[in-house]
Structure 1
Amino acid sequence: MELDWLKDFLALAEQRNFSRAAELRHVTQPAFSRRIRALEDWIGTPLFERGAQGAELTAAGTHFHPLAEDMLHRLHRARRDTKAVAEREAASLSIAATHALSFTFFPGWIRARLPLEALGTINLVSDSLEACEQIMLAGEVHALLCHHHPDAPGRLEAGRFESRVVGGDVLVPMCAPGSAWTLEGPTRLLGYSQASGLGRILAAAAPTLPGPAEVVFTSHLAATLMTMAREGYGVAWLPMTMAGEELERGRLVRAGGEAFDVQVEIRLFRALGGNNPGAALLWGM
């Protein structure tokens, strides 16, 4: 069995559509279908029922779904933990950051403070907030950079960790230009999964919608939701640090007024009593 087969299976289980899942996995649909069939052959039973409406999990597929997620999570953790053992001695500073901030906020933020050579070797771990909190609690990184809202506290208790505000952001409901899905009436929502810090914030602080809404798609990646919103699948609350340029260029538009915006902080967390020189220097910048 190949690792990609598990990723393909989870993508199809989430998308319920071969063409969208193949696009998400960056392969052609025929190649994607062959890999799904290879996984079913390896297991020995169909995992999906194919139909005109897409693909639905069979009873066997439903049983295999959580097992596949767990296997993939364990394999990724084993790879990350093993790599961390080798890198810990060489890296002078390890930082965990959520996906959205890793790709947008972090590069400019770190460059504007000090030349990288002043901090020594930096190891950046990019993952969901849930995974970043886990590795922070395990002491595998020196600092954590994430979105934060006072109504949605995380797992890093004040008695063990301290934090400071290093920036700000705003979550704005966005959709495709001319989309039928806005906040003015019945709408389709593109939501964040439970592992997402932005999903945690919206669950606690999102304003009440004026009309009925249905969550039709979830992902812990803001970039995925941005793409889905741009393609007209629904409305997503997106961080301006990521989607601001899409808004300026007209590839996305507001799905509602500013009353629906959610103001958030960008915070840097570190463990109390840490003695890493790079982390101390970063904290003081």
Structure 2
Amino acid sequence: MELIWFEDYLALAGTLNFSRAAEARHVTQPAFSRRIRALESWVGADLFTRTTHGVALTPAGEHFHNQAEMLTRAVHQLRRDTLEVSGRGAKLLSIAATHALSFTFFPKWVRGNERVLALGNLNLISDSMQACEQMMLRGDAQFLLCHYHRQMSSRLESRQFRSIVVGSDTLVPLSAPGKNGAPHWRLRGGKPVKYLAYSAQSGLGRIVAAQWGTKERAFALETIFTSHLAATLLSMARAGDGVAWLPRTLAEEDISAGRLVEAGAADLHIPIEIRLFRPLARQSQAAESAWAAFEQS
């Protein structure tokens, strides 16, 4: 058995597409397929079904998933910890953070934790929620800072990860103002409102979808643009292109200046938490010291 087989499996389980998974693993598709077959031969069971309609996990493949994630992460963590003990590894603390929090909440929050800054080199990795989850599942970061709502879907299961609340935020539907100062786009019955939406990679998009995706609502939305970057949606909302649900921490300056106004009543707000995630398994001494500092703050 080789570790790369587990990593290949996780890439395919995440994409359910051989060509995309092979591209992500920087290998040709035939070579990638052979490695997946080799893993299935080692396990002794098919982990994926392959049909003309696509790829899906078998029941055995579903069962294999959580342990494969934990084992892969543990092996990478073991290597880093051993290098650190030997003096050859950098005592680096990596925090994966979603874009929206990297530019607003994170700098103030981490400056308020002097004990963490004193521990050594702190590395911030800013990306989409989907990419941040992948980093945590692979063990490429010790912590994940993200927006959270109890109804949103997440790959960071409680059996493998724990979290603490480190802040709060609110998703607010915002629009550029019209000539009279009222919202140019208003969420109410009648004609569909131009909607600036989050893509599937976005955690904020998952939250908005959980809140409004399936519920009956008194307004209609017409999606005209999609991005995983809240800052991009903010710029387009400010330009008058449509309505976007934006974190107040990101949009507060534009709201205060009158460049953005609320497009609906307060019952359309979505209260959310800002959470810090970590693996349940014990990490390096520096990471555990950082976690203790975060908990105390």
* TM-score, normalised by the number of residues in structure 1: 0.68
The equivalent of 2:275 in structure 1 is 267
The equivalent of 2:52 in structure 1 is none
Is 1:190–1:235's contact at 8 Å kept on the other side of the alignment?
yes
* CA–CA separation in structure 2 for the residues paired with 1:208 and 1:191: 18
1:155 and 2:155 aligned: yes
Gaps of 5+ in 1: 1-65, 76-84
Correspondences of 1:1-285 after superposition (within 5 Å): 89-114=89-114, 117-178=117-178, 179-185=183-189, 186-206=192-212, 208-285=216-293
Task: Check 1:72–1:250 CA distance in 2 against 1; reply closer, same or farther (3 A cut).
Answer: farther
* TM-score, normalised by the number of residues in structure 2: 0.65
* CA–CA separation in structure 2 for the residues paired with 1:95 and 1:276: 14
* CA–CA separation in structure 1 for the residues paired with 2:235 and 2:154: 27
Is 1:136–1:142's contact at 8 Å kept on the other side of the alignment?
yes
Cα RMSD after superposing both structures:
2.7
* CA–CA separation in structure 2 for the residues paired with 1:73 and 1:241: 33
- Deviation of 1:208 after TM superposition, in Å, equals 4.5
**Which amino acid counterpart does residue 270 of structure 2 have in structure 1?**
V
**Which amino acid counterpart does residue 252 of structure 2 have in structure 1?**
G
Tell me the SS of whatever aligns to 2:254.
Answer: helix
CA offset digits 1:251-281 (Å, max 9, x no partner)? 1110011100001111111011222223222
* CA–CA separation in structure 2 for the residues paired with 1:103 and 1:71: 33
- Deviation of 1:209 after TM superposition, in Å, equals 3.4
Is 2:136–2:144's contact at 8 Å kept on the other side of the alignment?
yes
Tell me the SS of whatever aligns to 1:189.
Answer: strand
Moved over 4 A (4+): 69-75, 85-88
Tell me the SS of whatever aligns to 1:119.
Answer: coil
* CA–CA separation in structure 1 for the residues paired with 2:219 and 2:157: 37
- Deviation of 1:115 after TM superposition, in Å, equals 5.1
Is 2:115–2:290's contact at 8 Å kept on the other side of the alignment?
no
* CA–CA separation in structure 2 for the residues paired with 1:181 and 1:70: 40
**Which amino acid counterpart does residue 254 of structure 2 have in structure 1?**
E
* CA–CA separation in structure 2 for the residues paired with 1:74 and 1:181: 44
**Which amino acid counterpart does residue 236 of structure 1 have in structure 2?**
A
Task: Check 1:71–1:103 CA distance in 2 against 1; reply closer, same or farther (3 A cut).
Answer: farther
Gaps of 5+ in 2: 1-16, 27-78
Task: Check 1:239–1:138 CA distance in 2 against 1; reply closer, same or farther (3 A cut).
Answer: same
* CA–CA separation in structure 2 for the residues paired with 1:72 and 1:174: 38
**Which amino acid counterpart does residue 156 of structure 1 have in structure 2?**
L
* CA–CA separation in structure 2 for the residues paired with 1:102 and 1:73: 25
**Which amino acid counterpart does residue 256 of structure 1 have in structure 2?**
G
Paired residues, number: 211
The higher radius of gyration belongs to: 2
* CA–CA separation in structure 1 for the residues paired with 2:22 and 2:102: 25
Is 1:98–1:128's contact at 8 Å kept on the other side of the alignment?
yes
Identity of aligned residues (%): 51
* CA–CA separation in structure 2 for the residues paired with 1:125 and 1:274: 21
